[in-house]
Structure 1
Amino acid sequence: MRERGRTRRLLGLGARTGGAMLKTRLGGEADWRSLGEALFEGLSELKGPAMKLAQVMSQWDDLLPPELANELARLQRQAEPMPWEKIRTTLEAEYGDLEAHFAKIEERPFASASMGQVHRATTLDGETLVLKVQYPGLEEVLESDLAQVRRMMRLGRWFKVPQARLDALFEELAESLRGELDYRAEAAALSRYRQRYAENDDVVIPAPIESLCTARVLAMSYVPGTPLRELDQADDALRQAVAVRLADWMTEELFTFGELHADPHAGNFAADAEGHLIIYDLGAVIPVPEARLRQTLKLLKATLEEDPMAMDAALLAMGGRQGEGAPLSLYRDSAAAVAPLFAPGVQDLGDVRVHRRLRELSPRVWAAMDRLQPPADTLLLSRTLNGHYWNLVRLQARLDMAGRARPLLEWAEQV
C-alpha cells in the first residue's frame, strides 16, 4: 500500500509537470512558481530518486525558468526532515543499543538530503561526529521510484531531446542512486580523498569513523563550516579565497587524478573561517578519461576561436551531432556568449550580463537538440562541470579564466 501511494503521488507530480511543459510548448505561460512549490512539497516528503533528480535540475540555472529553479533549489537546504522515530529505527538496526555507542544523538537533523539525513552525535569518549543515516525502506522502493522517474524524464522528448540521451541520463541517475545505497563505498572514498589531500591544507575532508560505518549509516568526524550556499553575504576576501581553492581543486581532480565530484550542489561544500574548502559528501565521484578531457578542451578551443566549423568537427569527433544540418548560427552565438568568460585578465563570474546571454541561448540549444545529439557519455561530465561553474558564480568569483585555460588547451594539443 505504501509503495502504491508513493507511485500515485509521483505520477501526479509528473502529470502536473508535463502539463506545464505542454502549455509552454503550445505558446502559453505556465505558472512555474506554483509548480515549483508543489514539487518542493511533494518531493521533500517522498525523498528518493525523484527528489535527487529535482536537485540535479535545480543546478541548471541557465536552463530552468527562474521561478521553478528557485523552488527546486530549496530541496538542497529546506527539505522536510524525516521524523526522528523512523531514523532511530535505522540506527538501532545498525548499532543495536545506541547508549552503548553514543552519549547523545541530536534528534533534529542539521541536513536533509534525497537519500538520507545528517544528525550530530557525541560518542562515549566525548568526540563529536556526524551520522549520515539512510532513510528507512529506501531500498524497497528504489526500483519502483526509478520507474516513475524514467516516465518523468520522457517529457524531455517534447524538447526534442533524443531518447538515447534521455536513457543515458536515466541510467546515470539510476547507477548513482543504487551505488549510494551502500554507505561503505562513500566511507572508502572519504579515506581515499583524505590520503590524496593529506599535504594540502586548503582542502579539508571529514574522516570516516570506520568502526561506526555500516551500509546504511556513514559516521564522520564533525568539521564545522559555513555552507557554500550561505556565503553570498560573506566577506569578499573569504569568498574569493574559497573560489580560488574550488577552481584549483577541480583542476587537480580532473588533470592529476582523472576524477570529478559529480554531485556539485552547494550544500556539499563549505568553508571555514580561513577560507579552506570543506568537502562533506563524496557519494558520487566519476572517472574522467584523459581522451575525453582532450576532446572537451578541443571543443572549448574552437569555441574561444569562434570557429563554428571547428566546433562542429570537435563535436563530431566526440561522437555527437550525427547526420546533416550543422547549426552554425547557434555555434556562432554560443561562442560569442562563452568567449567573454575567457577574455584576457580577471573576469567577474558574478556579472549577470554573461549569464543572461547563456540563459537566452538555452531554448535554442534545446530546440536544436535533435541535431546536436551530444554524446551520451558526456552528459554527466557536462552536467557536473555546469554545477561546479554555478557554484563559482554564486561565490561571485573573480578568476583569470584565460590564464587558467591556456596551459590546459596546450596540453590538449599534445600527442
Structure 2
Amino acid sequence: MSDKAYDDRNNLGGRVRRYARVGGSVGGLAARLAGDRLFGMKIDRDDHAMELAQALGNLKGPVMKVAQILSTIPDALPKEYAQELAQLQAAAPSMGWTFVKRRMRTELGEGWRDRFASFDREASAAASLGQVHKATDTAGHALAVKLQYPDMGAAVEADLNQLDWMLSLFRRYDKSVDTSQIREELAERLREELDYALEARHIALYRHMLADEPTVHVPAVYPDLSAGRLLTMEWLDGTPLMRFTDADQETRNTIARNLFRAWYVPFHRYGVIHGDPHLGNYAARDDLSINLLDFGCVRVFPPRFCGGVIDLYKALRDGDEALAVAAYEAWGFHNLSRELVETLNIWASFLYSPLMEDKPRLINPADNPGQYGAETATKVHKKLKELGPVTPPREFVFMDRAALGLGGVFLRLGATLNWHQLFHDIVGDFSVEALAARQNQALAAAGMEGTVDGR
C-alpha cells in the first residue's frame, strides 16, 4: 500500500469508507431502535443495547470514544444504552509494523530510524485514535512515541455525521434534553484530539500548573522528534491503576489522594480539566505518585464558569437559592424556573455530596462503579420530561462527564478519604480574579494565549 493510502486529510474517499464501516455496524441497530419508538415495533432494548456496544467496540476510531462520552452524560441516551456503552474501553488492536514505518517516514523523513537508538516494533498501548511505541533516542532517553492512526480526520467527520443521525432519532421520541450543545462540544474536542501540536501545548500547560505538585508527574515533549501526527514524549515508568484495585486500603487511599490533586489543582486554580479521566490514562510509581499519560482531551474554562462551580457548592451547603440560580447562569443555563433549579439541584447535590461531609467516606456508596450516578440521572430525567426541553450548555458537558469519570475511578479504587478536606485544601483562597490571573500566566507559558473566550 502506498503512503498516499495513509493520508489523514479529511478526504471524500476516507469519509465514504468510514460511513460504510460505521453505518453497516450501527445503522441497522439504530433503525430498529427508531422502529421501536416511532412505529411500535417491539425489541428487547437490553439485548439491542448490548449489540450496539459490541458493534462500536469492534470499530477503531472516534465513534467508540463518542459512545463512551455520551454514556456518561445524563439523559443524552436512553438508560439501557448508557449502561452498555459505559463498559466500552478506549482500546483497539494496534496497527502493524508496516503502518509504523510508513507513518514514521512520512512524519520524520527517510532517515527516521537513525534518530533512535531503539524502537519497539510492537505497540505498548493502543487506543481509539492512535498507538504508543517505546523507544530510546541517541542520547539514551526513554521515549513514548505516539502515532495517529490513518484516516482519523475523515473518521472524525464521518462519525460525527453518524452521531447527528443517532441523536436525531433519540430526539424524536425524547425531547426533555436538547443535545445540540452536547454535539458541538463533542465535535470540537474530538477535532482537537487530532492535533498533536495542540496536545504538546496541553502538556506544557500541565507541566506549568503542576510544577509544585511533587506527587504528580507530567512527561516532557521532544519537539525535534514530533510532527503533525507524531508526538514523542518522555517515557514515564509506572504501574496501571487497575492493578491496585485489590491493594491494601492505605495504598488505594494514597493513589486516590494524589489523583484528586492531579485533577482538581488544575481545575480549581487554573480553570483547566483533563476531560478523559479513566484508569488507563494514569499510572502509579513505586512511591504511589501519579503519572499523567494522555493530554488529547483538555478543556479550558472561562473563570466565570469556575466561579459558578464554587458558588453552587456554597449554595447547596447554605440552602441559598439565589446563589444557585447565579451559579447555573454562570454555567450558561437560561430561562431558569424554580422547578428547573430544583431539578438541577438533584444532580448537583449528588456530585457535591462527597464534599459536604467533613469525614472520611467513599465517593459514593454505589454497588457498580460503572453505573456511578445512573440512579440519580434517571430521577433527574423523569423530572426534566415534565418541565420541557433543557439545553445543557457546552461548558457543562465535559465538566459533568469528567467529574463522573473521575468519581468512577475513585470507586474502582474503593478509596475512603475526607473529600471535603481535600477540596478545601485547594479552594480555600479561591477567587475568580486570582484564577483568571493564574490562567492567563499558564496559557502564555504554554503558548496558548487567547484560548478562552467569554471572560
- Output the TM-score relative to the length of structure 1: 0.84
Change (3 A) 1:150 1:61: closer
- For 1:34, the equivalent position in structure 2 comes to 51
1:146 Cα deviation after fit: 2.5
1:89 Cα deviation after fit: 1.2
Matched, 1:361 2:379: no
RMSD, aligned α-carbons: 3.5
- For 2:335, the equivalent position in structure 1 comes to 322
Q: What secondary structure sits across from 2:414 in the alignment? A: coil
Counterparts of 1:411 and 1:124 in 2: how far apart (Å)? 46
- With a CA cutoff of 8 Å and minimum separation of 6, indicate the structure with the bigger relative contact order: 2
Q: Higher mean Cα deviation, 54-63 or 98-107?
A: 54-63
Aligned residues: 408
Q: What secondary structure sits across from 2:339 in the alignment? A: coil
- For 1:377, the equivalent position in structure 2 comes to 395
User: Is the CA contact 2:372–2:404 (under 8 Å) kept in the aligned structure 1?
Assistant: no
1:203 Cα deviation after fit: 0.8
Match of 2:265 among 252, 255, 263: 252
Q: Higher mean Cα deviation, 216-225 or 392-401?
A: 392-401
Counterparts of 2:153 and 2:338 in 1: how far apart (Å)? 45
Identical residues among aligned pairs (%):
27
After superposition, give the CA deviation of every residue in 1:365-409 in whole Å (9 maximum; x if it has no partner): 234164543333322222222222222222222222333455748
Matched, 1:4 2:16: yes
Counterparts of 1:53 and 1:397 in 2: how far apart (Å)? 28
Counterparts of 1:61 and 1:326 in 2: how far apart (Å)? 18
- For 2:131, the equivalent position in structure 1 comes to 117
Match of 2:220 among 207, 210, 218: 207
After superposition, give the CA deviation of every residue in 1:305-349 in whole Å (9 maximum; x if it has no partner): 567786556435644252657157746755775675332311112
Counterparts of 1:414 and 1:221 in 2: how far apart (Å)? 34
User: Is the CA contact 2:120–2:135 (under 8 Å) kept in the aligned structure 1?
Assistant: yes
Change (3 A) 1:193 1:398: same
Counterparts of 2:191 and 2:215 in 1: how far apart (Å)? 32
Counterparts of 1:412 and 1:274 in 2: how far apart (Å)? 33
- For 2:165, the equivalent position in structure 1 comes to 151
1:156 Cα deviation after fit: 4.0
Match of 1:269 among 282, 293, 311: 282
Change (3 A) 1:227 1:257: same
Counterparts of 2:96 and 2:289 in 1: how far apart (Å)? 33
Change (3 A) 1:376 1:190: closer
After superposition, give the CA deviation of every residue in 1:113-134 in whole Å (9 maximum; x if it has no partner): 2221111123344432111001
Matched, 1:225 2:243: no
Q: Higher mean Cα deviation, 306-315 or 113-122?
A: 306-315
Q: What secondary structure sits across from 1:403 in the alignment? A: helix
Counterparts of 1:133 and 1:335 in 2: how far apart (Å)? 39
1:55 Cα deviation after fit: 3.2
1:52 Cα deviation after fit: 2.1
Q: What stretches of structure 1 of length at least 5 have no aligned partner?
A: none
Match of 1:135 among 117, 133, 149: 149
User: Is the CA contact 2:130–2:147 (under 8 Å) kept in the aligned structure 1?
Assistant: yes
Counterparts of 1:315 and 1:53 in 2: how far apart (Å)? 26
Counterparts of 2:100 and 2:359 in 1: how far apart (Å)? 51
- For 1:97, the equivalent position in structure 2 comes to 111
Q: What secondary structure sits across from 2:146 in the alignment? A: strand
Match of 1:80 among 93, 110, 113: 93
Counterparts of 2:392 and 2:74 in 1: how far apart (Å)? 19
Matched, 1:180 2:175: no
Counterparts of 1:305 and 1:103 in 2: how far apart (Å)? 61
Change (3 A) 1:182 1:311: closer
Q: What stretches of structure 2 of length at least 5 have no aligned partner?
A: 1-12, 435-455
Counterparts of 1:28 and 1:409 in 2: how far apart (Å)? 52
Counterparts of 2:208 and 2:372 in 1: how far apart (Å)? 41
Counterparts of 1:306 and 1:156 in 2: how far apart (Å)? 35
Paired letter, 1:359: A
Change (3 A) 1:142 1:330: closer
Q: Higher mean Cα deviation, 218-227 or 228-237?
A: 228-237
User: Is the CA contact 1:337–1:357 (under 8 Å) kept in the aligned structure 2?
Assistant: no
User: Is the CA contact 2:65–2:90 (under 8 Å) kept in the aligned structure 1?
Assistant: no
Q: What secondary structure sits across from 2:56 in the alignment? A: helix
Change (3 A) 1:67 1:338: same
